């Protein structure tokens, strides 16, 4: 039941960010990463992921969002909403020092990884949501 609540939140975030991306470039890239982490590595993994996400947002113009989340009823289930200006921004992200450090230090911690490419259903609604967030 709780996992069903995560999906609407993820979709809202997608809508919020997607309109900005669409305005910048019609070839934006949106992805949800589904990750399962071994429980014995969970705390270390979360620390490394938080550092990587913060660096990506701060240092990369082409990264619009790296938004990590975890399932409340199963914290080893991580979801990351990733939004890039375009495919080139994504490819550049994969070559950054902070991403390479994240990947190399967490590889043994990850039990399962699934990458799901997404597209926006209603970019016009996102404008209204951004307005509400500013209040």
Q: What is the pLDDT of residues 82-119, one digit of tens each?
A: 989 899 999 999 999 999 999 999 999 999 999 999 98
| Domain membership flag for residue 65 | yes
| Domain membership flag for residue 80 | yes
The reported pLDDT for the residue numbered 101 is 97
| Domain membership flag for residue 133 | no
| Domain membership flag for residue 49 | yes
| Domain membership flag for residue 45 | yes
The reported pLDDT for the residue numbered 25 is 43
The reported pLDDT for the residue numbered 72 is 96
Q: Is 4 exposed, middle or buried (0-12, 13-18, 19+ CB in 10 A)?
A: exposed
Q: What SS3 class is residue 131?
A: helix
| Domain membership flag for residue 70 | yes
The reported pLDDT for the residue numbered 119 is 86
Regions in the chain scoring below 70 on pLDDT:
1-26, 126-135
> Is the full-model pTM beyond 0.85?
no
Here the CATH number for the domain that contains residue 58 is 3.30.70.100
Number of structural domains the chain divides into: 1
Q: Which domain covers residue 69, as residue numbers?
A: 37-117
């Amino acid at each position: 039941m709780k996992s069903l609540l995560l999906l609407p939140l993820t979709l809202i975030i997608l809508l919020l960010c997607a309109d900005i991306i669409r305005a910048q470039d019609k070839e934006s890239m949106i992805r949800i990463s589904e990750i399962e982490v071994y429980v014995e590595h969970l705390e270390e993994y979360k620390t490394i992921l938080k550092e990587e996400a913060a660096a990506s947002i701060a240092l990369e113009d082409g990264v619009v969002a790296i938004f990590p989340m975890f399932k409340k009823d199963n914290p080893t289930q991580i979801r990351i909403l990733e939004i890039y200006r375009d495919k080139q921004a994504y490819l550049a992200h994969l070559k950054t020092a902070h991403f390479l450090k994240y990947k190399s230090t967490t590889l043994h911690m990850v039990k399962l990884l699934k990458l799901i490419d997404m597209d926006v259903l209603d970019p016009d609604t996102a404008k209204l949501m951004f307005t509400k967030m500013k209040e």
